[in-house]
Amino acid sequence: DAGVTQSPTHLIKTRGQQVTLRCSPKSGHDTVSWYQQALGQGPQFIFQYYEEEERQRGNFPDRFSGHQFPNYSSELNVNALLLGDSALYLCASSLMEGAGARPDTQYFGPGTRLTVL
Amino acid sequence: LAKTTQPISMDSYEGQEVNITCSHNNIATNDYITWYQQFPSQGPRFIIQGYKTKVTNEVASLFIPADRKSSTLSLPRVSLSDTAVYYCLVGGLSGGYNKLIFGAGTRLAVHP
């Protein structure tokens, strides 16, 4: 059973460019969340997708956008890259439990290391 | 979501029990307490989750006092491979959806 996969592993871009990161969720999962983790800090929530719609969003500018496909995979797009966007981008998948009050357990991928020069 | 406070770093030795305490004074009635572990250049990994009293699995135990304003992650007999960052998260579902709010975490270093 494959876990969460992300591509590419590493990426180098220059300021002003655009980047697309990809994520395939764990088998059976329907929800994908994206996080940004700067060096030495905890992951910061970017947004979450369920049923191909953005359901929640963290404190990130509109330069960060995403998409979820019918097969539950997801993309994170970042436009007009800044030096400060250099980070490890993590994708996490979970199964929407619905009525239960217990938070869904999120399974993380290995991340994509983005370097902006 | 409730803010958490945990030690920045801890040191231990192989074979010892490690207890990492997290403070969450503003925890809400519907909030759960969840711990994640992260190794360098990897994504966080779920360790354990609880609401009250004690929860135990094959990896760790989680102790939550009656007032739920703090919690303690207990790692029995740690090994070098337990060297990692440990995150305490407090929260529940919001509108049916949950998001994880990570703090800075606790860097645990296990020495031979």
**Tens digit of pLDDT at every position of chain B (112 positions):** 568 999 999 999 999 999 999 999 988 888 899 999 999 889 999 999 999 999 999 999 999 999 999 999 999 999 999 999 999 998 876 655 677 888 889 999 999 9
Q: Is A14 helix (H, G, I), strand (E, B) or coil?
A: coil
Chain A residues touching residue B95 (CB < 8 angstroms): 56
Res. A62: pLDDT tops 70: yes
Answer yes or no: are the C-beta atoms of B39 and A110 closer than 8 Å.
Answer: no
> How does pLDDT run across B60-80, given as a tens digit for each residue?
999 999 999 999 999 999 999
Number of C-beta neighbours around residue A7 at 10 A:
12
**Contact A55/B at CB under 8 A:** yes
Q: Do A92 and B46 touch (CB under 8 A)?
A: no
Q: Of B43, B46, B87, which has the smallest distance from its Cβ to A105's Cβ?
A: B46
Q: Do A4 and B43 touch (CB under 8 A)?
A: yes
Q: Do B99 and A58 touch (CB under 8 A)?
A: yes
Query: What pLDDT is stored for residue B104 in this prediction?
Result: 86
Q: Look up residue B27 and give its two tokens.
A: 């925890």
Of B90, B87, B5, B97, residue with least CA distance to B46 = B87
Identify residue A86 by its one-letter amino acid code.
S
